[in-house]
């Protein structure tokens, strides 16, 4: 198993966009969420966790997403590039990441196409179910592109 980790800057980026919630809440996708964007069968309505538990869940989630991204990559990436990819996958899910044009282009060695592919993931559904550009996602994608391009 590859034991690569992502840089602190990537962890900080993910935390800043996920924000810490110690009480379970329904996210816009109608999924119970807690901590730093942690979801799963273990998250239930009314659940409350400590800061320490949130950090532990985050570390486990990051390890899972990092390994998931690494399994899907067929080309080398820098630590910052890996961090940007993990941030995207953390947000959209490994299933969507696996099927993304971003991953397809990257695995074809088309590194120069990756930044514009990040930006395509800037939409969410409004109350009527229509896809719209969300400012928060646009900011996150811009931060991920900046991390992708960082030396």
Report pLDDT digits (tens) over 25-71: 998 778 999 999 999 999 999 999 999 999 999 999 999 999 999 99
Instruction: Give the residue-averaged pLDDT of 110-133.
Output: 94
DSSP string for the chain: -------HHHHHHHHHHH--EEEEEE-TTS-EEEETTEESTT--TT-B--HHHHHHHHHHHHHHHHHHHHHH--S---HHHHHHHHHHHHHH-HHHHHT-HHHHHHHTT-GGGHHHHHHT--EEE-TTS-EEE-HHHHHHHHHHHHHHH--
Instruction: Kindly state whether residue 1 falls inside one of the protein's structural domains.
Output: no
Instruction: Kindly state whether residue 3 falls inside one of the protein's structural domains.
Output: no
Instruction: Kindly state whether residue 37 falls inside one of the protein's structural domains.
Output: yes
- The pTM score is 0.94
Q: What is the pLDDT of residue 16?
A: 97
Q: Which residues, including other chains, have CB under 8 Å from residue 118's CB and lie 6 or more apart?
A: 84, 88, 102, 141, 144, 145, 148
Give the rounded percent of residues in the chain with a pLDDT score beyond 70. 99
Residue 96 tokens, joined:
């969507």
- Whether residue 52 lies in the annotated active site: no
Please provide the average confidence, as pLDDT, over all residues in the chain: 96
Q: What is the pLDDT of residue 1?
A: 58
CATH of the domain at 78: 1.10.530.40
Q: What does the alpha-carbon distance between residue 75 and residue 64 come to, in Å, rounded to a whole number?
A: 19
Structural domains of the chain, count: 1
Instruction: Kindly state whether residue 91 falls inside one of the protein's structural domains.
Output: yes
**Among residues 18, 23, 116, 144, which one is catalytic?**
18
Give the rounded percent of residues in the chain with a pLDDT score beyond 90. 91
Range of the domain at 22: 8-149
């Amino acid at each position: 198993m590859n034991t690569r980790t992502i840089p602190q800057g990537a962890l900080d980026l993910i935390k800043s966009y996920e924000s810490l919630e110690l009480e379970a809440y329904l996210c816009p996708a109608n999924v119970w969420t807690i901590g730093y964007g942690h979801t799963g069968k273990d998250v239930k309505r009314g659940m409350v966790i400590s800061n320490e538990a949130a950090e532990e869940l985050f570390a486990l989630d990051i390890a899972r997403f990092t390994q998931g991204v690494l399994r899907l990559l067929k080309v080398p990436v820098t630590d910052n590039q890996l961090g940007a990819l993990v941030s995207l996958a953390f947000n959209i899910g490994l299933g969507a990441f696996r099927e993304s044009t971003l991953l397809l282009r990257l695995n074809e060695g088309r590194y120069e196409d990756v930044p514009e592919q990040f930006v395509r993931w800037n939409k969410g559904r409004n109350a009527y179910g229509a896809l719209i550009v969300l400012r928060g996602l646009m900011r996150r994608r811009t931060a991920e592109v900046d991390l992708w391009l960082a030396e």
